[in-house]
Amino acid sequence: MTDAATNMRLKLPITCFILEIILIILFGTLVQYDHETDAKQWHNQSHEDYENDFYFRYPSFQDVHVMIFIGFGFLMTFLQRYGFSSVGFNFLIAAFALQWATLMQGFFHGLHGGKIHIGVESMINADFCTGSVLISFGAVLGKTSPVQLLVMAMFEVTLFAVNEFILLSILGTRDAGGSMTIHTFGAYFGLMVTRVLYRPNLDKSKHRNCSVYHSDLFAMIGTIYLWMFWPSFNSAITAHGDDQHRTAMNTYYSLAACTLSTYGMSALTAHDGKLDMVHIQNAALAGGVAVGTAGEMMLTPFGSMIVGFLAGVISVLGFKYLSPILEDKLKIQDTCGVHNLHGMPGVLGAIVGAVTAALASTDVYGGGLSDVFPDVASGDVTATKQGGIQAASLAVTLGIALLGGLIVGFILKLPIFGAPPDTICFEDSIYWEVSYELIFIRVEFSTSTF
Amino acid sequence: MTDAATNMRLKLPITCFILEIILIILFGTLVQYDHETDAKQWHNQSHEDYENDFYFRYPSFQDVHVMIFIGFGFLMTFLQRYGFSSVGFNFLIAAFALQWATLMQGFFHGLHGGKIHIGVESMINADFCTGSVLISFGAVLGKTSPVQLLVMAMFEVTLFAVNEFILLSILGTRDAGGSMTIHTFGAYFGLMVTRVLYRPNLDKSKHRNCSVYHSDLFAMIGTIYLWMFWPSFNSAITAHGDDQHRTAMNTYYSLAACTLSTYGMSALTAHDGKLDMVHIQNAALAGGVAVGTAGEMMLTPFGSMIVGFLAGVISVLGFKYLSPILEDKLKIQDTCGVHNLHGMPGVLGAIVGAVTAALASTDVYGGGLSDVFPDVASGDVTATKQGGIQAASLAVTLGIALLGGLIVGFILKLPIFGAPPDTICFEDSIYWEVSYELIFIRVEFSTSTF
Amino acid sequence: MTDAATNMRLKLPITCFILEIILIILFGTLVQYDHETDAKQWHNQSHEDYENDFYFRYPSFQDVHVMIFIGFGFLMTFLQRYGFSSVGFNFLIAAFALQWATLMQGFFHGLHGGKIHIGVESMINADFCTGSVLISFGAVLGKTSPVQLLVMAMFEVTLFAVNEFILLSILGTRDAGGSMTIHTFGAYFGLMVTRVLYRPNLDKSKHRNCSVYHSDLFAMIGTIYLWMFWPSFNSAITAHGDDQHRTAMNTYYSLAACTLSTYGMSALTAHDGKLDMVHIQNAALAGGVAVGTAGEMMLTPFGSMIVGFLAGVISVLGFKYLSPILEDKLKIQDTCGVHNLHGMPGVLGAIVGAVTAALASTDVYGGGLSDVFPDVASGDVTATKQGGIQAASLAVTLGIALLGGLIVGFILKLPIFGAPPDTICFEDSIYWEVSYELIFIRVEFSTSTF
């Protein structure tokens, strides 16, 4: 299975080295420690060590980090012959994206005298942006070369930062857990890319586009880690104190409710009442996506559970009925079903966030209103208007994601990136040295028995 | 392998939806943010953000969360054809149990004006209660339908909360890591349930009731996570400061000592001196169970290591000699050997706790006595009496667990829950869509070679 | 595959029990709670609970703990028939080493009135020392009995503590993440041991000394966990505040850059441009090793990325070109290639640390200089001299590691420890009860088809 077109001997090293050298040069000229990581600045000020933001956010950061590298990486190992690529390309593009995101987000979110200041909060934001790229990766999984993925990551990170800047800095949108900025953006960007990269003959690789027993168990490692650490994800960059605490708790209950509705819907819709691993691996996570915006608000566990329950229902229905339609009618080949896990639940989360924001009041939030809705607390906007801004932000996000995905899709179509042919998609051995047990077994058999 | 009786098409959705809707209604009417998660209440008081309990307990909570979902879930994947169910049913019943436990524990442990107040501590307690249910799940693993498991969880959580209320609130028992409330309770409850559900013809599924190479490796993921995070488990709800610190450290050394005695005993008792994965996967954890009560006390690392060492010895001996007797003579079919990992070490932990409590004094604990033994510090009881209370609590726990398991076992025997027949136990394909590699290999061979 | 010589029936239990009993006795006579874990002492002093070191370091400790037991354990499961031993022996020797390290490090690093005082910092240090032993384990993987490994651990921990004492306490070396004390020491010690244990006929086990598809996926679990938590590793025992924060961030960027250079180099050097799992699993981690010394310094993300980039390049080149030479010419059979992951990157890290230290100044560090270079801040040595001390420390470490490895290698050569014969290396079934799927599949086939 070696082919000049897909040979990475030069393409991948050149891409990696050029990108990393550019990153290093830009870091050297633009990036500085912030006042909490710089030895001199931290010691110039008067404070206690436990006031350093590291102690408020680093445990959450590490949970998010696990979601990005283990969660996303292993979730995608469900394909029988694509485990190396799932974990390995996830690893590669995430390592690139988090560096590039540091620059792009720093560039947009506030230069300090022409310099980007970084610390644990920027690390979390870089991981968040990376998460969005990995969602898009799920849509094109198995059909792209590592060079294509790096190119996609470069453009997507940039557009992510633009969208995030418009929402958070210009419009004043609240989206701590990223229902819009991360999930909706990543999903619709990826769906548009995979639409542009449509492969009419993909059914020639159909026999590899499914799971086997052990690959599904590996994927469950990813699922469970995403599920467990989602409370940390949604609360990682909310305000200190009650905000982080409340956000984590709302997410915890949303996910629990979502899990029950997912199991129920999976048995209800599946053949012979048997549970479908695809649903469990994915839809059970939709509850985390759907409280990404409203999780920091006074949504209450009760509200979170309703949202989580609905997210699970929608997501399973999407896998069962909508995905086949998207593929047949709209020619969207969505390998991991990111529309069902990130797309629709992300939109749901944006709507829930808009409604919850519109209902905010000092009665409910007290002095905490300024943490969650600073513009409402300061009187700059009414709660209703904040709700409107939230809703408008969803439209902006969808627009940038779809348009960006369209353009980037066409760039990725250039026949220079070593994409696999239709006949060898979902196959590790095209980009990896692989020794399959299968071959070993067959040889063993034919020599020892006959 | 489809059968009307075990078909989950309607049973599972109905159960999931009814349970979740009840949960949502009860959360809506009964549950409120506590003063550390409520925006208004937190901001009404004067304190620093780092004083929020979130920063004292959330990292421990996440470790406990990993133990519940990855630890228990993967520990049970050792069976060759039951990996989906082990991880998947673990996921389902845990997601249900933690919601139900929030209500039951909140109901018993103090309503505030008729409302249940929740935050990170209640989340840890809910996970703890869930852990107890998962221990019982280990005893009936492979022989129960998901509907049976949800019903079991509903009753067991309720009885757990009753027992916990009697011990902690009425008797004043100390049991931070749950040697009694979690491990002893969960184990003996589950053993009684599996006794009632005794299957005389289970040997018809015998060929599936064993591990294969890869399934044992998956199980080691569970084991190692349980082992590593047990210090967080035992210290998660102890008092702030030295108490959490000391408890974690005692547990760390107990587990290390237990691991050495486990390996020694496994080689000593096993065939040809070869190590047995069952022992390593389970007995090495007994040291964590056995310091569940005394871990927060001034047990010293020295004492912890002795306890851990003994726990490992007892547990391996249990697997080797006692489990076969329990099965043959008492008709207790204990799939995971929870009696050896949670039952006996839990009882040992209760005894160690009683003795350590009886020896407590201001000489040793100083001003810290009120953290560990508030009733002794206040003079309400003597240390000796506290020891007696601890011992009595073990008896109470055993009584409630055995009686509760008996009743719940008979409920689960009702032929309406879709339990698998004796011939198809320990088999994923009865409840899951499964594609086995085995089948693929055979087809491949027969078409390509002949 | 049973043989009297390798039978562990008595050897392993005797070793485990004697070692653990010695440990327990020594803990009973020598070890005490420190003032942050002791109930009386903590409550005698006036401070807030959040000032307890537990809250500054326990999350990092748990990340390190995961690296030791999951990270190292699963990284070594890449061998097709050695997964039980990789995870299982890793578990055993780590559980022993952390107890023994507590004593040895406590003995050298300061007895308080003849007693060793322990808390979370000593737990981290014990895990660090254990890490060094596990690095050496990687060099001899597959060719040693568990008894040999325990004996090796006992001596290596002792020598580790001696070297650490010379560096940190006598010379005043800075090495928070252990480029020298942990990685360089562990690697060269292990390489010398495996040199002494050279097996001329190891090619008889050659067919087992390679990976299969699933074993490589299990190994990726180890790799990714090591990669993700390395920021916690390097920052776990640095000073509170900006130091922990900065160290974690430097490591984060070093690893990201290292990952890109690793992928680039792997494709560039490998056959047909296909990525080699060995490189991804190992070389991508070299960036963490290489900033082990300088990570806490004002290396800047820019500097960290250059170091990480170089570490990845060196490490892949080592796997590709140097390892075969070491094996053929120097008779060093380095199973896991620890020279490439820990040896050379460790030396690189020491050099980077020396240079960075020599460039330190109050201009850059401000009041933080006393945290990072106390001897420079106090005026005891100049920055240049500190750099010289750092460089000399590398030489000391190499000397003690090589000499120690030589002696311990000869001890391990004694024919009493049950080492496997050359024909059955890299094989679980020599020490473990194993049921292979392979056999099952063959039998199934021959009975059902013919």
DSSP calls for B166-223: IIIIII----TT-IIIIIIHHHHHHHHHHHHT--TTGGGGGGGSSB-HHHHHHHHHHH
Is residue C270 one of the residues assigned to a domain?
Answer: yes
At residue A216, the 3 state secondary structure works out as helix
Cβ atoms of C318 and C268 within 8 Å: the answer is no
- Residue-wise pLDDT for A280-319, tens only, equals 999 999 999 999 999 999 999 999 999 999 999 999 999 9
Q: Do C52 and B442 touch (CB under 8 A)?
A: no
Surface-to-core class of residue A133, CB atoms within 10 Å of its CB (0-12 exposed, 13-18 middle, 19+ buried): buried
Assign C441 a pLDDT band (cuts: 50, 70, 90).
very low
| Main-chain dihedrals φ then ψ at residue A10, nearest 5 degrees | -110, -40
Where b means 16+ CB within 10 Å and e means fewer, C188-200 reads bbbbbbbbbbebe
* pLDDT at site B5: 85
Kindly state whether C115 is in contact with chain B, defined as any CB-CB distance less than 8 angstroms: no
Token reading at C244 = 């922990």
Is residue C273 one of the residues assigned to a domain?
Answer: yes
Is residue B441 one of the residues assigned to a domain?
Answer: no
Is residue B59 one of the residues assigned to a domain?
Answer: no
How high is the mean pLDDT of chain C?
Answer: 95
Chain A, nearest residue to C48 by Cα: A50
pLDDT over threshold 60, residue C444: no
Token reading at A286 = 């939709």
Of A406, B208, A100, nearest in space to C305 by CA: A100
Average pLDDT over residues C15-32: 98
Let me know how long chain C is.
450
Q: What ipTM score was computed for the predicted complex, to two decimals? A: 0.95
Q: Which chain C residues are within 8 Å of B270, Cβ to Cβ?
A: 433
* pLDDT at site A256: 98
Kindly state whether B236 is in contact with chain A, defined as any CB-CB distance less than 8 angstroms: no
Kindly state whether C360 is in contact with chain A, defined as any CB-CB distance less than 8 angstroms: no
Cβ atoms of C214 and A215 within 8 Å: the answer is no
How high is the mean pLDDT of chain B?
Answer: 95
Kindly state whether A37 is in contact with chain B, defined as any CB-CB distance less than 8 angstroms: no
Q: Do A274 and B31 touch (CB under 8 A)?
A: no
Q: How far is CA C262 from the centre of its chain?
A: 20
User: Of C32, C58, C92, which has the smallest distance from its Cβ to B59's Cβ?
Assistant: C58
User: Of C37, C58, C99, which has the smallest distance from its Cβ to B256's Cβ?
Assistant: C99
| Cα–Cα distance measured from residue A390 to residue C303, given in angstroms and rounded to the nearest whole number | 41
- Orientation of helix C437-449 relative to helix A437-449, angle to 10°: 50
Q: Range with the lowest mean pLDDT among B105-109, C179-183, C393-397?
A: B105-109
pLDDT over threshold 60, residue B15: yes
| Cα–Cα distance measured from residue A187 to residue A334, given in angstroms and rounded to the nearest whole number | 10
Q: Do A13 and C265 touch (CB under 8 A)?
A: yes
Angstroms from B165 CA to nearest CA on chain C? 27
Cβ atoms of C350 and C393 within 8 Å: the answer is yes
| Cα–Cα distance measured from residue A136 to residue A144, given in angstroms and rounded to the nearest whole number | 12
* Interface list for B 243-262 with A (CB within 8 A): none
* pLDDT at site B436: 63
Q: Which chain B residues are within 8 Å of A270, Cβ to Cβ?
A: 433
Kindly state whether C271 is in contact with chain B, defined as any CB-CB distance less than 8 angstroms: no
* Interface list for B 140-169 with C (CB within 8 A): none
Q: Which chain B residues are within 8 Å of A81, Cβ to Cβ?
A: none
Q: Which chain C residues are within 8 Å of B59, Cβ to Cβ?
A: 58-59, 62
**Number of structural domains in chain B:** 1
Looking at residue B79, what DSSP letter applies?
B
Cβ atoms of C194 and C139 within 8 Å: the answer is yes
Q: Do C33 and B248 touch (CB under 8 A)?
A: no
Q: What is the pairing mode between strands A31-33 and A116-118?
A: parallel
Angstroms from B263 CA to nearest CA on chain C? 7
Token reading at A351 = 């709507």
A361 Ramachandran zone, left/alpha/beta (phi>0; psi -120 to 50): beta
Distances (CA, A) of A27 to A21, A165, A191, C305: 10, 21, 32, 9
Cβ atoms of B402 and B188 within 8 Å: the answer is yes
Angstroms from A214 CA to nearest CA on chain B? 8
pLDDT over threshold 90, residue B22: yes
Of B100, B160, B139, B103, nearest in space to B400 by CA: B160
Longest dimension (CA), chain A: 85
* Interface list for B 200-219 with A (CB within 8 A): 214, 218
Q: Which chain C residues are within 8 Å of B242, Cβ to Cβ?
A: 36-39, 41-43, 52
Average pLDDT over residues B142-156: 98
Positive or negative: CA dihedral A226, A232, A237, A243: positive
Instruction: State which amino acid sits at residue B153.
Output: A
| Cα–Cα distance measured from residue C373 to residue B227, given in angstroms and rounded to the nearest whole number | 37
| Cα–Cα distance measured from residue B407 to residue B197, given in angstroms and rounded to the nearest whole number | 11
Q: Do B220 and C88 touch (CB under 8 A)?
A: yes
| Cα–Cα distance measured from residue B127 to residue B95, given in angstroms and rounded to the nearest whole number | 9
Q: Which chain A residues are within 8 Å of C306, Cβ to Cβ?
A: 24
Q: Do A146 and C263 touch (CB under 8 A)?
A: yes
Residue A242 neighbours by CB under 8 Å, 6+ apart:
A368, A371, B36, B37, B38, B39, B41, B42, B43, B52
* pLDDT at site C443: 33
Residue holding tokens 């620059």?
A103
Cβ atoms of B165 and B108 within 8 Å: the answer is yes
Q: What is the dihedral of CA C147, C152, C155, C160, to 10 degrees?
A: -140
Kindly state whether A450 is in contact with chain B, defined as any CB-CB distance less than 8 angstroms: no
- Tell me how crowded residue C362 is: count the other CB atoms within 10 A of its CB: 14
pLDDT over threshold 90, residue C278: yes
Kindly state whether A377 is in contact with chain B, defined as any CB-CB distance less than 8 angstroms: no
Is residue A423 one of the residues assigned to a domain?
Answer: no
* pLDDT at site A74: 98
User: Of A228, A257, A302, which has the smallest distance from its Cβ to B20's Cβ?
Assistant: A257
Rg, Å, chain A Cα set: 22
Q: Which chain C residues are within 8 Å of B446, Cβ to Cβ?
A: 449
- Residue-wise pLDDT for C308-360, tens only, equals 999 999 999 999 999 999 999 999 999 999 999 999 999 999 999 999 999 99
Cβ atoms of C296 and C176 within 8 Å: the answer is yes
Cβ atoms of C335 and C141 within 8 Å: the answer is yes
| Cα–Cα distance measured from residue B348 to residue B289, given in angstroms and rounded to the nearest whole number | 9
Q: Which chain B residues are within 8 Å of A56, Cβ to Cβ?
A: 49-50, 55
From the candidates A38, A41, A86, A149, which should be mutated to test the interface with C, based on the most C CB atoms within 10 A? A38
Is residue C155 one of the residues assigned to a domain?
Answer: yes
Q: Which chain C residues are within 8 Å of A214, Cβ to Cβ?
A: 214
DSSP B306-365: HHHHHHHHHHHHIIIIIHHHHHHHH----TT-HIIIIIHHHHHHHHHHHHHHHT--HHHH
Distances (CA, A) of A208 to A80, A85, A89, B279, C27: 7, 14, 18, 38, 57
Kindly state whether C434 is in contact with chain B, defined as any CB-CB distance less than 8 angstroms: yes
Chain A, nearest residue to B439 by Cα: A212
Kindly state whether C334 is in contact with chain B, defined as any CB-CB distance less than 8 angstroms: no
* pLDDT at site A3: 67
User: Of B213, B220, B221, which has the smallest distance from its Cβ to C434's Cβ?
Assistant: B213
* pLDDT at site B3: 67
Is residue A445 one of the residues assigned to a domain?
Answer: no
User: Of A39, A58, A118, which has the smallest distance from its Cβ to C298's Cβ?
Assistant: A39
Surface-to-core class of residue A207, CB atoms within 10 Å of its CB (0-12 exposed, 13-18 middle, 19+ buried): exposed
pLDDT over threshold 50, residue C445: no
Of A127, A147, A125, nearest in space to A135 by CA: A127
- Tell me how crowded residue C45 is: count the other CB atoms within 10 A of its CB: 10
Kindly give the parts of chain A with pLDDT less than 50.
1, 438-450
Kindly state whether C92 is in contact with chain B, defined as any CB-CB distance less than 8 angstroms: yes
- Orientation of helix A53-66 relative to helix C53-66, angle to 10°: 20
- Residue-wise pLDDT for C80-107, tens only, equals 999 999 999 999 999 999 999 999 999 9
Distances (CA, A) of B297 to B249, B303, C31, C62, C282: 11, 11, 16, 22, 42
Q: Which has the higher per-residue pLDDT, A220 or C271? A: A220
Q: Do A99 and C256 touch (CB under 8 A)?
A: yes
Residue A52 neighbours by CB under 8 Å, 6+ apart:
A36, A42, C240, C241, C242, C244, C245
Q: Do A301 and B44 touch (CB under 8 A)?
A: no
- Domain that includes residue C395, residue range: 10-44+65-413
Geometric angle at alpha carbon B316, from B314 and B317, rounded to 5°:
65
* Interface list for C 2-31 with B (CB within 8 A): 2, 7-17, 19-20, 23-24, 27-28, 31
- Orientation of helix C213-235 relative to helix A53-66, angle to 10°: 180
Instruction: List, in sequence order, the alpha helices (H) in C72-212.
Output: 72-75, 83-108, 120-140, 146-164, 185-196
**CA count, 13 A, side-chain hemisphere, A48:** 11
pLDDT over threshold 70, residue C1: no
Angstroms from B201 CA to nearest CA on chain C? 24
Cβ atoms of A291 and A307 within 8 Å: the answer is yes
Average pLDDT over residues C235-264: 98
Positive or negative: CA dihedral C38, C40, C46, C50: positive
Q: Do A271 and B15 touch (CB under 8 A)?
A: no
Chain B, nearest residue to A211 by Cα: B435
pLDDT over threshold 90, residue B198: yes
Cβ atoms of C90 and B217 within 8 Å: the answer is no
At residue A8, the 3 state secondary structure works out as coil
Kindly state whether A324 is in contact with chain C, defined as any CB-CB distance less than 8 angstroms: no
Average pLDDT over residues B299-327: 98
The CATH number of the domain holding residue C277 is 1.10.3430.10
Kindly state whether C364 is in contact with chain A, defined as any CB-CB distance less than 8 angstroms: yes
Q: Which chain B residues are within 8 Å of C440, Cβ to Cβ?
A: 212
Is residue A53 one of the residues assigned to a domain?
Answer: no
Kindly state whether C298 is in contact with chain A, defined as any CB-CB distance less than 8 angstroms: yes
Of B288, B2, B41, nearest in space to A367 by CA: B41
Kindly state whether A83 is in contact with chain C, defined as any CB-CB distance less than 8 angstroms: yes
Give the neighbours of chain B: at least 3 Cβ pairs within 8 Å: A, C
Q: Do C95 and B259 touch (CB under 8 A)?
A: yes
Average pLDDT over residues B188-212: 96
Token reading at B13 = 């959705």
